[in-house]
Amino acid sequence: MCGGGCRLNEVGWFGVLEWARSNSVRVEEAVVTETERIVRTFHESWDLRDPERGVSVIADDCRFEDVARDELQIGPDGYRRDYERWRSAFPDGELKVINVVVEGDWAVVEFVNRGTQTGPLESSLGTFPPSGRSMEVRYCSVMRVRDGMVVEGRDYYDSASIAAQLGLIGS
């Protein structure tokens, strides 16, 4: 792994569990479903700056809707485009998973997205030049997993809050 000097966002939650077990650290028994593992892999790929990690759990015909932008992202290519759009606008961007709730093949993932807009931001309102301002917003993803792959999902968040924090609209 990283020799004991790594941060959580470098290895992800499951990397920490693996390290703890391999170093005889007592880890309380937790039941992590396949669905939770998949949705965490999807979201942690953003914070790890590893889009291919996220792509590895997206079905070719996955339909993922960004509700705020009224945009449908299809399959791995849709994911890559969305990742690059956000990473270009927020190169220092972070994503921190707060909570995951699983019921069968469905999962709800609550997370925080934060970063400083130092690149152009493509949005449903148009493309905005870098503002140099920071934003932090809470998101909720509703996702369905089948056969180890994300097959559909929706992201919900307050796009007006992002725009206001970046000075793009009045608050």
Q: Tell me the per-residue pLDDT of 122-150, one tens digit each, with 9 for 90 and over.
A: 887 789 999 999 999 999 999 999 999 99
What's the confidence (pLDDT) of residue 29? 45
Classify residue 143: in a domain, yes or no. Answer: yes
What's the confidence (pLDDT) of residue 16? 58
| 8 A C-beta contact, residue 8 and residue 97 | no
Classify residue 170: in a domain, yes or no. Answer: no
Classify residue 3: in a domain, yes or no. Answer: no
- Compute CA distances 164 → 15, 70, 82, 90, 151, whole Å: 36, 19, 21, 16, 33
Classify residue 171: in a domain, yes or no. Answer: no
- Taking all residues of the chain, what is their mean pLDDT, rounded to a whole number? 87
What's the confidence (pLDDT) of residue 12? 58
List of long-range contacts for 6-14, beta carbons under 8 Å, 24+ apart: 9/44, 9/47, 9/48, 9/94, 9/96, 10/48, 12/40, 12/41, 12/44, 12/48, 13/40, 13/44, 13/97, 14/40
| 8 A C-beta contact, residue 106 and residue 35 | yes
pTM of the predicted model, to two decimals? 0.78
Classify residue 45: in a domain, yes or no. Answer: yes
What's the confidence (pLDDT) of residue 31? 65
Domain ranges, residue 100: 8-165
In this prediction, the residues of the chain whose per-residue pLDDT falls under 70 are 1-31, 171
What's the confidence (pLDDT) of residue 168? 87
For the chain, how many structural domains are there in total? 1
User: Which CATH number belongs to the domain containing residue 104 in this structure?
Assistant: 3.10.450.50
Classify residue 2: in a domain, yes or no. Answer: no
What's the confidence (pLDDT) of residue 170? 76
Classify residue 138: in a domain, yes or no. Answer: yes
